[in-house]
Amino acid sequence: MATAAEVLKQTAPAAAESAAVVVRQVQLDGQVVLKIMQHCDGALPNIVTGQLLGLDVGALLEVTDCFPFPGGDDDTLDEQAGANYQIEMMRCLREVNVDNNTVGWYQSSSFGSYQTTEMIETFVSYHESIRKCVCLVYDPQRSARGQLALKAVRLKDAFITHFKEQKLTGKDLREAGISWRDVFVEVPVRIHNSSLAQALVADLDPAPRITAPDLERLDLGGAAYLTKTISGLIEGADDVLAEAQKISVYHRNLARQQQHMAQWLAKRRQENAARRAAGEEALPEEDPAAFKPIPEPPMLEQYLVVNQLAAGCERATAACQAGMSKLYVMQALQKGGAQA
Amino acid sequence: MPQSALLPLLGLNVRVQVHPVVLLSICDAYIRRNDKQERVIGTLLGTVTDGLVSVQRCYVVPHNESADQVAVDIVHHKTMLELHQKVAPQQTIVGWYSTTSSNVCSDALIQEFYAKEPTSSSGPIHLVVDTSLGGDRVDVRAYASRGLSLGDKALATEFVELPCNVLVGEAERVGLNLLVSGDHERGKPLADSEGLPESIARLQQLLATAQRYVEDVVAGRAKADPAIGRHLADTLADIPRLEPSDFERLFNEGIQDQLLVSYFANLVRSQVALAERLGTAALPLV
């Protein structure tokens, strides 16, 4: 029974020679956007994922179709069943002339925090078969507030090579010059529609009524959102602090261990000198069993946590700017009303 | 003497609501069809509650049709149904769609096929999306079928049009606004910063409409509707009257809150950057 990885390898685009070009822009079809929104909104509060299909054309990645993965909360769905689902779905879609190339996957996130180890592992496993893949992250809560929160993310190639070779110690990463900013790269997204779909959507243009997103945007009481954002920041700061503490503890332990080893070595040398003086055999100067090497805490966690915190800070700043502009508009209206 | 034709009433209170995803998928499927095919057909999935059929998903089913025969790929249909139900188990088959506006006789056969599927009690809906752009717009119509029989013999199937509207949910409205303003040549970049100006513009439009109505009524150009008048009066009365000093206070507090959060966010960011520099600088090379 072919596994999903093999299927992916078979359907990998023959344009492997364009591997040196990185993805600079992602173009989404309108129906992909709506399908993703439908799937993620319907599955709240679970996190759901799905596959993206399309074409890669040089530096532009076109996503023309997508399908959802089953079993968000159904843990009994095992690997094999998931792979079967994927194979069946791709086969059926091929029969109706849908682009059969996997170009990535999409997932929903809560409040936009998506930087986890699982995501990196998924990226790397996709990278085995397709050189260029992106992940679309969709934030359903922010979309309910009136802005389409869809962004495309990919990993930097340098980081991927390092991850594969498992060279994730602090020394290696510093040598390679990879800081926490170099892990994820956000790729600009644009929406594109066929002419027929444009005609259809133009017919559907909704009437200019005030909608719930408008009410959210015009609402001046942003206190609840601010509180949530701040508690998110606090959690992020706690995580970063915990990671930093782990690193400092590790270094303290390492220093202490070095000290012990030095002392022990000095003692051994003294003993050996005494023994040689007494004419006995010298004991070996190395005793590996006494001092086990202390494992270094993984730098990857730290990078991811810092990434999340930085993203949270950016979101908070953006929300504050929006809030302040609203308040200033209100003030201007009030002043204008008072003068009139 | 011919017996009276029996026209079984087919739940004539059925209304159809279509999600825009379905329409865009149908357009996409039509564009991707094989060269020899004139139209595409597919299955509609959705839910039925109380006479309201909500069509939420769809998938294409390959088929071949000639003058008097039609062959539908049933295996494909069943496989896709299973796959879709794994993701959304509460959706059932509510009907089928096709993309031309002429009801050829094969439609009746396909309708029968879908009637045999486990659909809702009101029978399968037939959705027609006119992609030939004959009438300068893309028409979406829904039909239900009822059989015309003479006594015991079934004569024909008649397609009765049902009221159909495209449902635009709140979240989808955001997506659709982006799609409408998209330029199909270059595509529109997703802009995050838009929003507030559009909302204010919409609000202004509504206020202008209300104002025009009131002026028309006062000048005698339009008939006064007491219900609307009362509604407007209530809305105006709801606006809180604030003393200037109160407003200043509220405004200052609001600004202070926002500035505080913004300051915190910037502080955390600089802290992180600083810690990174100090942290990596202090690490002894082991």
Number of Cα atoms under 13 Å in the Cβ half of residue A109:
19
Confidence of residue A175 (pLDDT cuts 50, 70, 90): low
Tell me the three state secondary structure of residue B17.
Answer: strand
CA B148/CA B158 separation, integer angstroms = 7
Structure pTM? Answer: 0.72
The contacts of residue A86 (CB under 8 Å, 6+ apart) are: A4, A7, A51, A69
Q: How far is A136 from chain B (nearest CA, A)?
A: 13
Instruction: Give residue B100's pLDDT.
Output: 74
Contact A327 B279 (CB under 8 A): no
CA B63/CA B43 separation, integer angstroms = 12
The owner of tokens 């004139």 is B38
Residues of B in contact with A141 (CB under 8 A): none
Residue A306 touches chain B, beta carbons under 8 Å: yes
* Higher per-residue confidence, A70 vs A19: A70
Contact A189 B56 (CB under 8 A): no
Instruction: Give residue B2's pLDDT.
Output: 42
* Contact yes or no for A135/A119 (Cβ under 8 A): yes
Strand bridging mode A134-138 / A60-68: unpaired
Put simply, the chain A residues between 91 and 150 with a CB less than 8 A from any chain B CB are: 92, 95-98, 140, 143-144, 146-150
CA A110/CA A44 separation, integer angstroms = 9
The contacts of residue A107 (CB under 8 Å, 6+ apart) are: A47, A48, A49, A50, A114, A119, A135, A136, A137, A138
Residue B285 touches chain A, beta carbons under 8 Å: yes
Strand bridging mode B63-65 / A60-68: unpaired
* Contact yes or no for B45/B58 (Cβ under 8 A): yes
**What are the strands, taking DSSP E only, across chain B?**
5-6, 15-18, 41-49, 52-61, 63-65, 70-72, 92-98, 125-129, 140-150, 153-162, 164-166, 188-189
Confidence of residue A15 (pLDDT cuts 50, 70, 90): very low
pLDDT-wise least confident of A218-222, A281-285, B57-61, B218-222: A218-222
* Contact yes or no for A201/A131 (Cβ under 8 A): no
What DSSP state is assigned to residue B197?
H
Tell me the three state secondary structure of residue B266.
Answer: helix
Residues of A in contact with B20 (CB under 8 A): 34, 201, 204
Span A255-284, mean pLDDT?
Answer: 81
Cβ-nearest to B168 among A191, A204, A325:
A204
Span A253-265, mean pLDDT?
Answer: 84
Cβ-nearest to A96 among B62, B184, B206:
B62
Residue B258 touches chain A, beta carbons under 8 Å: yes
* Structural domain boundaries in chain A: 4-207, 231-339
Q: What is the mean pLDDT of chain A?
A: 74
Report residues of chain B scoring pLDDT below 70: 1-13, 67-68, 101-105, 118-122, 133-137, 147-157, 168-195, 276-286
Instruction: Give residue A56's pLDDT.
Output: 83
What DSSP state is assigned to residue B192?
S
* Contact yes or no for A226/B261 (Cβ under 8 A): yes
Residue A332 touches chain B, beta carbons under 8 Å: no
Q: Tell me: the pLDDT tens digits for A162-174?
A: 777 665 665 666 6
- Selected residue of A139, A193, A256, A325 to mutate for chain B interface (largest B Cβ count, 10 A): A193
Confidence of residue A19 (pLDDT cuts 50, 70, 90): very low
The owner of tokens 């769905």 is A77
Q: Spell out the SS3 assignment of chain A.
A: CCCHHHHHHHHCCCHHHHHHCCCCEEEEEHHHHHHHHHHHHHCCCCCCEEEEEEEEECCEEEEEEEEECCCCCCCCCCHHHHHHHHHHHHHHHHHCCCCCEEEEEEEECCCCCCCCHHHHHHHHHHHHHCCCCEEEEECHHHHHCCCCCEEEEEECHHHHHHHHCCCCCHHHHHHHCCCHHHCEEEECEEEECCHHHHHHHHHCCCCCCCCHHHHHHHCCCCHHHHHHHHHHHHHHHHHHHHHHHHHHHHHHHHHHHHHHHHHHHHHHHHHHHHHHHHCCCCCCCCCCCCCCCCCCCCHHHHHHHHHHHHHHHHHHHHHHHHHHHHHHHHHHHHHHHHHC
CA nearest B175: which of A312, A167, A114, A41?
A41
CA A151/CA B189 separation, integer angstroms = 11
How much of chain A, in percent, has pLDDT values that exceed 90? 0
Q: How far is A259 from chain B (nearest CA, A)?
A: 13
CATH topology of domain A4-207: Cytidine Deaminase; domain 2 (3.40.140)
Span A72-79, mean pLDDT?
Answer: 54
Residue B71 touches chain A, beta carbons under 8 Å: no
The owner of tokens 């007494």 is A278
Put simply, the chain A residues between 261 and 290 with a CB less than 8 A from any chain B CB are: none
Q: Tell me: the pLDDT tens digits for A87-135?
A: 888 888 888 888 778 888 888 877 666 777 777 777 778 877 777 788 8
Residues of A in contact with B242 (CB under 8 A): 334
What's at B65, amino acid-wise?
E
Domains of chain B: 3-177 (3.40.140.10), 192-281 (no CATH)
The per-residue DSSP string of B213-234 comes to HHHHHHTTSS---HHHHHHHHH
* Higher per-residue confidence, A178 vs B245: B245
Q: Over the Cα atoms of chain B, what is R_g? A: 29
Distances (CA, A) of B111 to B18, B114, B127, B144: 19, 5, 11, 9
